[in-house]
Amino acid sequence: MNTLFPLYEVPLKHGSVGNRHSINWRWNLVVADGTRSLFGDAARWEFRRKVNHALEYAHWVRAASLAYPVDPDAIPLELRKIFVGSQEPPFEHGDEL
């Protein structure tokens, strides 16, 4: 399976779902406070719905073992790990997503 552009049941604007190649934004990302912290407070329904879809995607990526490369030494420099946190890496990812 392509870990950077996996096939996923993508929710489309008009309400249907399409099996499409997606961009695995969760790939090789480590967030000290967890993936949920990236989205802030989604108070309005239209934002909350999109945030929930994004978090479902992140959960699927982790469950399918697509979040981290199998062979870290084979990663090109352009695709190094992305760290989001208030301290110097390395640190553990903050949640299950």
Condensed to tens digits (0 to 9), the pLDDT of residues 45-80 reads 778 888 999 999 999 999 999 988 777 676 666 677
User: Cα(37)–Cα(95) distance, rounded to whole angstroms?
Assistant: 9
Rg over alpha carbons for the chain, rounded to the nearest Å, is 14
In the chain, where the domains are located: 7-84
pLDDT of residue 63: 93
Q: DSSP letters of 44-61?
A: SHHHHHHHHHHHHHHHHH
Average model confidence (pLDDT) for the chain?
85
* Global confidence as pTM: 0.78
3-state secondary structure of 23: coil
* pLDDT over threshold 90, residue 22: yes
**pLDDT surpasses 90 at 19:** yes
Task: Give Cα separations from 88 to 19, 31, 62, 65, 78 (angstroms).
Answer: 38, 12, 24, 25, 20
Give the model's pLDDT for residue 1. 59
Q: Residue 14 has what pLDDT?
A: 81
Please choose, from the candidates 22, 33, 24, the residue with its C-alpha nearest in 3D space to the C-alpha of residue 83. 33
